[in-house]
Structure 1
Amino acid sequence: MASLTSKMATSSLQQTPYNNYFVGEKDLKYVPPYFRDTPETTTEVSCVTKGLWPEWVNGTFIRIGAGKFIIPTSEDDSKPNAVLQHFFDGLGILHKFTMSDGQVRYTSRYTAEGVVRKAQKDGFVSTTMFGVNANYPSLKNAQDPCSALLGAQQSVFVPKGHLPPDGANVNVVPRRGMHLPKDTNPLSRGVASANPEEEEILVHTDFNMLQVCDAKTLEPKRLLTYADINTELSGFGICAHPPKDRKRGHTYNYLISQTGVMSIFALDIVAKPAKLIWKTALPCKPCYIHSMAMTQEYVVFIRNPLHMDVSDTTKQVMEMIEFEADAQTLFFVLNKSDGKHIAIYAAPNFMFFHSVNAYDYIDETTGDVNLHVDLCSYESDFVPYREYSLSNVVDPAQPFQDGTLVRYELAAINKANLNRVSRATVAQAIPGVALELPRISKYMSMNPSYRYVYATGGNGGASPGTEVPIGRLGNGVKVVQAAFFSSIVKTDWQTGKFLRWQPENGESCPCEPVFIARPGAQNEDDGIVLTIVIDKKGTHSILVALHGRDLKEVARADMPQVYGIGPHGSFVESRGMY
């Protein structure tokens, strides 16, 4: 504890915007339960519900979360455990809620147990680590410097050869499955489904890897890269949120080649198997992005002013990603039909995680075709993911930050000239509320008339009576916070106003809201919003359904365990629901 205390004192004296030190296993008791190891519930159980769970909700709600932070490095407990140190680093667990006839059933399963098995064999953890290396400080001193030390120092895990289906930590976005090329990996499990859209889940992350899981049992079946779909897609990069055009049956993503060339590509995900449609190189330096945008006719790649310096792979990933203070944020526009790059727009420096929606429309004043791109935008001098280390959760250096919902306008795309960089302007913003993890009705994707955005709103908002606060190692004055996420917010582009839902009775930390439209709905917000909160004492979590119109609670379902907080989820409707 002496070294921990000294680091805390040093970080406080330096007035850093975030704390970044190793939190040992004994100090994890100060971390909120949703940032600690959580169990799995492999046998489906019926949830106790309150209120009237809508009978029209007929489908499966899938969420990915962090299941494990403590990783054993020996089979006989002869070596100290490794401790993962960042929100992004927790080993994945899939949560599934099956809903029908007003009933809710729940099951969950770990999806990265191969990482644990390898750590027990090697004596150290091999996985990509955003935060402080999980193998330090105790494991570093325990390694044989002639053998395992170099591997224990690496923060970037680059797989070589075949991996078992749970051999990598793929833990960001779960979606419907799709038809994939023939599997030649002898370590895969199970048989590829003939109906993957309903029988398999495809989990995405921010590197070139996909994980296939069984939709019924949640068991991992296969790991693959985009290069398994097409050899032209070998390389790095990849955003976890490839925008999906349901009408065309295409998704769009980016790739950084082995030689450092950044490209955008389109996949036909309806084809059996999925296939590459086009791939287009961009005239810019590689960067890190988490999501892209699209309109009816265009793909928009927004280059974050962030690049990764991999010259020293012993540095944690969040420090490898370097901010370009003097760079503009660039919008590259491509035609969906053929991938032709047609325009570049630039805006004063900002960064983002999540795009919200985008659309093209005809400007009534000029007759030109304009694009609107909606994002949760962060100020140029702030890098949010550096706040998400466990040390900064238990000892926040300052209040956590979220983005501002901003609408950027790319004007006169029909007159664009690739030899001239046009200016992106701010058409609108929603002031007064900080937002992250934005979601909309999927039926309003790319629709110029869409109005509503649902998101988590702010951090650390009061939850009266909660017994699971964060900031437990702080001095009680510097930063006082009650939860990592504060509330659920509904914003309205038409009025510029917003509504906020705050958990009550000591419950806290609502996760990303997911909107489900009611069948036959005439209004955009006619449906429910799903989120998950933790109970007052931190013993279990609760799935909550809010009305999409006014965010009043409709119903809830008690989970048998704590939901290890994760970034994203998807609702997969059953056949015939719509």
Structure 2
Amino acid sequence: MKYVPPYLKDVPETTNEMACVTKGAWPTWLQGSFMRTGAGKFVIPLSEDGSKPPAILQHFFDGLGILHKFTFENGQVRYISRHTAEGVIRRAKKDGFLSVTMFGLNANTPLKDAQDPCSALLGAQQSLWLPSGYLEPDAANLNVVPRRGMHLPKDKNPLSRGTASQKPEEEEVMVFTDFNMLQVCDAQTLEPKRLLTYADIDPELSGFGICAHPPKDRKIGTIYNYLISPEGVMSVFALDFRAKPAKLLWKTALPCPPCYIHSLAVTQDYVVFIRNPLHMNVSDMTKQVMEMIEYEEGVTTKFFVMRKSDGEHIATYEAPNFMFFHSVNGYDYVDKTTGDVNLHIDLCSYEGDYIPYREYNLSNVLDPGRPFMDGTLVRYELSAVSKANASKIQRATVAQAIPSVPMELPRIRKDMSMVPGYRYVYACAGNGGPSPGTEVPIGRYGTGIKTVQAAFFGSIGKTDWLTGKFIRWQPEDGESCPCEPVFVARPGSIEEDDGVVLTIVIDRKGTKSILVALSGKDLKEVARADMPQVYALGPHGSFIEGTKM
């Protein structure tokens, strides 16, 4: 861990909200909270007295969660953060081993020659810890997507903390991940309050799977996700998040084998489940989880289309083999030539047998075996949906693509979701630039300095579907590793890119991080705010409008 970049090491929390030192002019119209997840701890003690060596989490996805919150009001910026998986550490100290879902190498046995017999035999079974029964609100690691809270069924868990809010959309944050578990945190203090599964909302939603990015239709008040039942049946379901409590609207079984996906897609009238050609091979449980997820060579990627109104599966399409993490946007429209209803689904697509998350081991971040690869922004077209036969597979075609521009962690203007003809996508664009804190002395007398590796993320990019143009913002003065860009629109603005893009960089010395606001039009810096600590690199964030959070 000595040479791992500072943003992939243990970082402290800032539990008392503090004012940030700012530079430039933060827009006074920017009113609300910017919530971000992070991976705050990688070194986990396995004893109270330090008598045992610690467990070392060795994959970017596995770091124990921390929530960050920036509050904007009248041109001022305040900051607070809190670790949200302290119960995992308490259990590890008590048990003498780490029991939490681990994507990468089993942290209990980091060295082959040091493996204890049980861990060598159980392998990934020890990494696939799936909780059951009552759990404390910080007893699992959820560190992917933060969102507004929603009304939930009455809590029967005696280990929960605090009381359920009567205004969860204003007073609570819900954290999502890629398995069937949700974490509720206090929006002010960020303290974990409750752990639950979708089965606590409705018993029909017991099982595995779940994507961390359930798409939301804000107009009708629904979110959509997928589930693999204990019997191995994969389904898509719709949840009414405005109901008090939230309730299941429909669940539709899919005619395909289970797979791993990270997000779904929606249009105005349809939900689209894109089956990644990836499955979990459990025949060898000594493998780490990321190695158990296998690519299905030569298998087409299928699009299953369901009506939002009733969940009926109405059409199936397929495209040549590709995989994806993140959908960008989707919309349906009437083809002026044929009069048919077509769908456009925009993704960051990876073609071939390439599995990017296997690159995200910390050892590979230190010494990459090859350049990191991001997806290509591709628009897939599903034609004549209204005339389709669900039992007959049709061909999905590529309507448009922006090649030679690596794109990942894509974001758009929020009110452009499901809008035909939207133009702009903001994303992390490749890697590059030096990682601070990773320099080592070189030369006969150690008088030179060499950076060990490039930054995990290199720059922020903006693409335009209409013109195909691409612009990039690269941090300067030794700053590096901008995180996922989140666009916030100026209230009442007409132009789609009228607003600011929020991202976080780390300083040259690796001692602190900086929140940066860029112009949505040209990606030029507008303002910045110093954080009192290093931002523990995390995948996703959400901007929540209003000053009540």
TM-score range, shorter chain: over 0.9
Partner of 1:543: 515
Partner of 1:467: 436
TM-score (norm 1): 0.91
Please state how far the C-alpha of 1:148 moved relative to its aligned partner: 12
Q: Is the 8 A contact 2:24 2:527 kept in 1?
A: yes
Partner of 2:446: none
Distance 1:497 1:481, change over 3 A: farther
Partner of 2:46: 73
Please state how far the C-alpha of 1:305 moved relative to its aligned partner: 0.2
Partner of 1:383: 355
Please state how far the C-alpha of 1:470 moved relative to its aligned partner: 8.9
Structure 1 segment 165-180 matched on structure 2, within 5 A: 165-180=137-152
Aligned partner (choices 434, 442, 449) of residue 414 of structure 2: 442
Aligned partner (choices 100, 110, 121) of residue 73 of structure 2: 100
Structure 1 segment 387-402 matched on structure 2, within 5 A: 387-402=359-374
Given residue 462 of structure 1, which amino acid in structure 2 is its aligned partner? G
Q: SS of the counterpart of 1:386?
A: helix
Given residue 114 of structure 1, which amino acid in structure 2 is its aligned partner? G
Please state how far the C-alpha of 1:571 moved relative to its aligned partner: 0.5
Q: SS of the counterpart of 1:334?
A: strand
Q: Distance in 1 between matches of 2:414 and 2:229?
A: 32
Given residue 436 of structure 2, which amino acid in structure 1 is its aligned partner? E
Q: Is the 8 A contact 1:156 1:313 kept in 2?
A: no
Structure 1 segment 1-16 matched on structure 2, within 5 A: none
Q: Distance in 1 between matches of 2:516 and 2:385?
A: 42
Partner of 2:226: 254
Please state how far the C-alpha of 1:153 moved relative to its aligned partner: 6.2
Q: Which moved more, 1:305-314 or 1:159-168?
A: 305-314
Q: Is the 8 A contact 1:470 1:483 kept in 2?
A: no
Q: Is the 8 A contact 1:393 1:470 kept in 2?
A: no
Q: Is the 8 A contact 2:123 2:288 kept in 1?
A: no
Q: Which moved more, 1:188-197 or 1:127-136?
A: 127-136
Partner of 2:159: 187
Distance 1:424 1:159, change over 3 A: same
Q: Distance in 2 between matches of 1:433 and 1:174?
A: 28
Partner of 1:11: none
Q: Is the 8 A contact 1:122 1:148 kept in 2?
A: no
Is 2:533 the counterpart of 1:561? yes
Is 2:20 the counterpart of 1:47? yes
Given residue 376 of structure 1, which amino acid in structure 2 is its aligned partner? C
Q: Distance in 1 between matches of 2:441 and 2:375?
A: 25
Please state how far the C-alpha of 1:469 moved relative to its aligned partner: 5.1
Q: Is the 8 A contact 1:130 1:317 kept in 2?
A: yes
Partner of 1:130: 103
Structure 1 segment 507-522 matched on structure 2, within 5 A: 507-522=479-494
Q: SS of the counterpart of 2:127?
A: coil
Q: Distance in 2 between matches of 1:73 and 1:565?
A: 24
Q: Distance in 2 between matches of 1:240 and 1:472?
A: 41
Is 2:259 the counterpart of 1:287? yes
Aligned partner (choices 39, 50, 57) of residue 30 of structure 2: 57
Distance 1:194 1:433, change over 3 A: same
Distance 1:94 1:126, change over 3 A: same
Please state how far the C-alpha of 1:244 moved relative to its aligned partner: 0.1
Q: Is the 8 A contact 2:124 2:289 kept in 1?
A: no
Q: SS of the counterpart of 2:199?
A: helix
Identity over aligned pairs, percent: 74
Q: Is the 8 A contact 1:393 1:471 kept in 2?
A: no
Q: SS of the counterpart of 1:120?
A: helix
- Unpaired segments ≥5 residues, structure 1: 1-27, 474-478
Please state how far the C-alpha of 1:462 moved relative to its aligned partner: 2.8
Given residue 90 of structure 1, which amino acid in structure 2 is its aligned partner? G
Distance 1:146 1:520, change over 3 A: closer
Is 2:64 the counterpart of 1:91? yes
Given residue 244 of structure 2, which amino acid in structure 1 is its aligned partner? K
Q: SS of the counterpart of 1:496?
A: coil
Given residue 204 of structure 1, which amino acid in structure 2 is its aligned partner? F
Please state how far the C-alpha of 1:482 moved relative to its aligned partner: 2.2
Partner of 2:376: 404
Aligned partner (choices 269, 272, 288) of residue 316 of structure 1: 288
TM-score (norm 2): 0.96
- Unpaired segments ≥5 residues, structure 2: 443-450
Q: Which moved more, 1:109-118 or 1:148-157?
A: 148-157
Distance 1:436 1:208, change over 3 A: same
Given residue 308 of structure 1, which amino acid in structure 2 is its aligned partner? M
Distance 1:373 1:146, change over 3 A: closer
Please state how far the C-alpha of 1:35 moved relative to its aligned partner: 0.6
Given residue 467 of structure 1, which amino acid in structure 2 is its aligned partner? P
